[in-house]
A and B are shown apart, each in its own frame.
Chain A
Amino acid sequence: MNLLDRYIHEVGRHLPRKSRSDIQAELRSSFVDTLEDRFGQDASEEQTSELLKEFGQPRDIAASYHPQSQYLIGPTLYPIFRMVIWIVIAAVLGAQILAWGIGIFVDGDAFSVWETLASLVASVPASLGWVIITFMILQYFDAKPDLENQPWDPTMLPEIDTDQEIKRGELIVGLVFGTLILALITLFPQWVGFITFPGGNFYPNPVILDYLVLIQVSLLATILMNIYLFWKGSWTFLTRMIKLGLDAFGVVILAFLIQGHNAWLAANGSTSFTISISLIESNNWELVGMHAFRLAFVVAFIVTIIEIFATIYRMVRSKMASNISAKDFVLKVE
């Protein structure tokens, strides 16, 4: 009987405490009934083992009694869980990027790209962890979203999202410019800089040259994505994620560039943020040029951050449209 005891004990380990002993008792009595019927009063260890094999894995037996307890987050909660996950990711990313942006402009010197990236890497999984824990608890108490009693009305179906369509014109312009710039900085890196009108002197931009490889990688990846988009004709979840990643990558490079220009300008004696009249009057065209570059990068930085927000917004919106609308967000615990 030793083997049967172990089996029954093992089944019990996978059962909820409430019904455990009762199910165990019934299982034992049924098993012994079967055993006696087949092998008589004194069944051997081998015969017991043979019959146990027939019964099946303890885990499977327990699962057949309580199918819903096999889920960390069950099928009833899963659609809401997925929606919440996207909202949380968007909110956390949005808040981080916002804090990052404010940090750069309000407190220019106290900002570090790596620190911000590290905090992003830490905060997203942590927030997702809390969402998962919350839903695990809801699952444990068998909470059910209050969806069934809501009458379903076909006219309330969300409109088909035209945002999914790509704008080919924009794409072509982006492709042409992207390819031109990539070709230019790859074939003629010595020309990366600026020429002054009055004297016609050429000044290379040392900061851009420092980050040339990163810029090339980013441009190339964007071009490849645009070609893929052009071929596919519409946005998908995956391409939006890739776009988000590339934009984030772009923001990092731009942050490096701005930081580099800050450092260069500070080292060359210009700490002000804007191009002042006195600077232009001083005829120090190298300084003016670097200022202009920094300004352009700051604009690009802001635009890319807005792009990121827009992409996140579109992703959440299409998720919400394809899942459940927020008004269905009522949970009841039974």
Chain B
Amino acid sequence: MMINNTQSEQYLKLTQELRRGILVLAALSQLEEEKYGYALINSLAEKGLDIEQGTLYPLLRRLETQGLLQSEWNVEGSRPRRYYVISPEGTQTLEKLTGEWREITHVMEKLLAGIANKGE
């Protein structure tokens, strides 16, 4: 029982680690049109990527500090919301990261080809 718990905990950590790297790319890809936090969560979830609010909001701020996103408060709706949109610098980064991502997936496909059926 103990071992199972530790194993599943470890598995959870490994999954989180694996996902962490792609979150930046995922967020940038959805922000060509400006969105507020919760809308972005929904739009990612619709496409199959669930991300916790506690992870996404700090990430958006970090990307803004790094100059990849721009944000402003919009008070027109039912309540004030902070809208994020990709910056010109962010667009360039997104392009590069996308290329990187394609390469990685290409390589990983090759690496995992031998065991592909096991994961399915």
- By a beta-carbon cutoff of 8 Å, the part of chain A in contact with chain B is 23, 25-27, 29-30, 32-34, 37, 55-56, 60-61, 64-65
Known: A33-B36, A33-B38, A37-B38. A27 touches B81 (CB 8 A): no
Min CB distance A327 to B, Å, is 32
- Most chain A CB atoms below 10 A, which of B38, B42, B55, B73: B38
Known: A26-B37, A33-B36. A60 touches B54 (CB 8 A): yes
Rounded to whole angstroms, the CA-CA distance of A26 and B38 in the bound complex is 10
Chain B residue numbers with a CB within 8 Å of A34 are: 38, 53
Are B54 and A64 in contact, with the CB atoms below 8 A? yes
Rounded to whole angstroms, the CA-CA distance of A229 and B78 in the bound complex is 74
Chain A residue with Cβ nearest B37 = A30
Rounded to whole angstroms, the CA-CA distance of A184 and B58 in the bound complex is 72
Chain A residue numbers with a CB within 8 Å of B79 are: 29, 32-33
* B residues 63-120 in Cβ contact with A at 8 Å: 73, 79-82
Min CB distance B67 to A, Å, is 16
Are B54 and A29 in contact, with the CB atoms below 8 A? no
Chain B residue numbers with a CB within 8 Å of A37 are: 38, 42
Q: Is the interface of A mostly helix, strand, loop or mixed?
A: helix
Chain A residue numbers with a CB within 8 Å of B55 are: 64
Chain A residue numbers with a CB within 8 Å of B54 are: 55-56, 60-61, 64
Are B53 and A25 in contact, with the CB atoms below 8 A? no
Q: Which of A29, A33, A65 contacts B61 (CB 8 A)?
A: A65
> What are some 26 contacts across the A-B interface (CB < 8 A)?
A25-B80, A26-B82, A29-B36, A29-B37, A29-B79, A29-B81, A29-B82, A30-B36, A30-B53, A30-B57, A32-B79, A33-B37, A33-B38, A33-B39, A33-B79, A33-B81, A37-B42, A55-B53, A55-B54, A56-B54, A60-B54, A61-B54, A64-B55, A64-B58, A65-B57, A65-B58
Chain A residue with Cβ nearest B56 = A30
Chain A residue with Cβ nearest B59 = A64
Rounded to whole angstroms, the CA-CA distance of A183 and B73 in the bound complex is 84
Chain A residue with Cβ nearest B55 = A64
Chain B residue numbers with a CB within 8 Å of A32 are: 79
Chain B residue numbers with a CB within 8 Å of A56 are: 52, 54
Rounded to whole angstroms, the CA-CA distance of A64 and B62 in the bound complex is 10
Rounded to whole angstroms, the CA-CA distance of A56 and B53 in the bound complex is 10
Chain A residue numbers with a CB within 8 Å of B42 are: 37
Min CB distance B62 to A, Å, is 9
Chain A residue numbers with a CB within 8 Å of B61 are: 23, 65
Chain B residue with Cβ nearest A57 = B54
Chain A residue numbers with a CB within 8 Å of B37 are: 26, 29-30, 33
Min CB distance A14 to B, Å, is 13
Chain A residue numbers with a CB within 8 Å of B73 are: 25
Chain A residue with Cβ nearest B61 = A65
Rounded to whole angstroms, the CA-CA distance of A174 and B61 in the bound complex is 64
Rounded to whole angstroms, the CA-CA distance of A65 and B80 in the bound complex is 20
Chain A residue with Cβ nearest B73 = A25
Rounded to whole angstroms, the CA-CA distance of A61 and B53 in the bound complex is 9
Rounded to whole angstroms, the CA-CA distance of A25 and B80 in the bound complex is 8
